[in-house]
Amino acid sequence: MPHVLCLRAIHPDAIALMKAAPGVTVEVLDPVTPETLAARIPEADAVTVRLTRIDAPLIALARNLRIVARHGVGYDAVDVPALTARGIPLTITPEANAGSVAEHALMLMLACARRVTGYDQRLRDLGWGTVPDMPTVDLAGRTVLIVGFGRIGTRVAKLCSAFGMNISVVDPAVPYNTIKGLGYTPVEDLRAALATADVVTLHCPGAAENRGMVDAGFLGTMRKGAILINTARGTLVDEAALADALRSGQVSAAGLDVFTEEPMVASNPVLALPNAIITPHSAAGTAEGMRRMAMSCAESILARFAGTLDPHVVVNPEVLRRNA
């Protein structure tokens, strides 16, 4: 009888879907502590995971484990090689949260362009009207550089287009003519594009080669007074360098949903900066996005039990070939 262990609650529709499958039992573990996890994971055939670290010692305890379903797309906290060594697939929810994150990126762009948090606080202090030290701008007619043109980046491009922005795209994995055919400007020289962009928005993976890519040199090459948006991975940005750029005005504002260290720590230099608009890695956390991610997890788990798992949602698809 397959047993699913959910590490924290997921949407009730997804739990109901799994419980409706013949012979499947579902358990929600909350709170998740090292002790409760070690006690229950040996019984699990499948695990849904949101933030919990899934490391090699834990995987070794999971004697029955057949699938780990990540409630989201990032899997930095999961030991993929350890899963692969055991022949256990790791799935993600690639389409479920893309629209939610894209909307969040646009929200941060607008909030930065219109100095929403600054004017909100000023009005609460009974200050009225605009002031010279908090200038606002339109997005229409501005140039946005989209760094990474995958599931989220492509959606951000459509939203920016609706706002009348000029859209440049850089992604070495996407053919030049594909970007051009969609009506956007392909970029081959990143540094040159940074110098002309009013907004730079990051939508690339946190792979080793991308870590720290937004460093002092990157920020110094940006057009003075440009806006930086990051809803991708905190490890893409050198936060100390960004804080310096925000203080100097080289970057006029930054909208950040992700950080090098999460949850947020008091030592993060962007915390004290009024021109940084920050959210707690919540871009995907809309009601609709949470349901879609949970349903995607449930569907992957049931497909794994049925032997019909879609390889396109599997991080380590080689295990499917090996198991076959």
pLDDT value at 181 more than 90: yes
Tell me the pLDDT of the chain averaged across its residues. 97
Longest dimension (CA), the chain: 67
pLDDT at residue 225 in the model: 98
Beta carbons of 240 and 270 less than 8 angstroms apart = no
Q: What is the mean pLDDT of residues 161-185?
A: 98
Q: Verify whether residue 115 is a known catalytic residue.
A: no
Q: What is the mean pLDDT of residues 276-304?
A: 98
Annotated domain spans of the chain: 3-96+287-323, 98-278
Q: Verify whether residue 203 is a known catalytic residue.
A: no
Band (175; pLDDT cuts 50, 70, 90): very high
Q: What share of the chain has pLDDT > 90, as a percent?
A: 97
What are φ and ψ of residue 31, in 5° steps? Answer: -80, 155
pLDDT at residue 322 in the model: 81
Half-sphere exposure of 96 (CA within 13 A, CB side): 26
Query: For 47-73, b where at least 16 C-beta lie within 10 A, e where not — what string?
Result: bbbbebebeeebbeebeebbbbbbbbb
pLDDT in tens, 42-73: 999 999 999 899 999 999 999 999 999 999 99
Q: What is the mean pLDDT of residues 128-150?
A: 97
Band (299; pLDDT cuts 50, 70, 90): very high
Band (261; pLDDT cuts 50, 70, 90): very high
pLDDT value at 291 more than 90: yes
pLDDT at residue 321 in the model: 86
pTM of this structure: 0.95
Band (119; pLDDT cuts 50, 70, 90): very high
pLDDT at residue 323 in the model: 77
Q: What is the mean pLDDT of residues 74-85?
A: 95
With residue 26 as reference, give the H or E element that holds it. strand 25-29
Of 66, 233, 292, 304, which residue is the catalytic one?
A: 233
H-helix segments, the chain: 12-20, 34-40, 56-61, 80-86, 98-113, 116-124, 151-162, 176-181, 190-194, 216-221, 239-248, 287-306, 318-323
Beta carbons of 173 and 227 less than 8 angstroms apart = no
pLDDT value at 102 more than 80: yes
pLDDT at residue 190 in the model: 97
DSSP per-residue string spanning 134-175: S----STT-EEEEE--SHHHHHHHHHHHHTT-EEEEE-TTS-
How many whole angstroms separate alpha carbon 235 and alpha carbon 207?
9
pLDDT at residue 20 in the model: 98
Beta carbons of 164 and 147 less than 8 angstroms apart = no
pLDDT in tens, 246-256: 999 999 999 99
Pick the CATH number of 3-96+287-323 from 3.40.50.720, 3.50.50.60, 3.40.50.620, 3.30.300.30: 3.40.50.720
Of 142, 203, 223, 281, which residue is the catalytic one?
A: 281
Work out the number of other CB atoms within 10 angstroms of the CB of residue 2: 20
pLDDT at residue 306 in the model: 97
Q: Verify whether residue 299 is a known catalytic residue.
A: no
Q: What share of the chain has pLDDT > 70, as a percent?
A: 100
pLDDT value at 207 more than 90: no
Closest Cα partner for 139 from 111, 116, 117? 111
Q: What is the mean pLDDT of residues 37-42?
A: 98
Task: Give me the residues paired with residue 214 across strands.
Answer: 237
The CATH number of 98-278 is 3.40.50.720
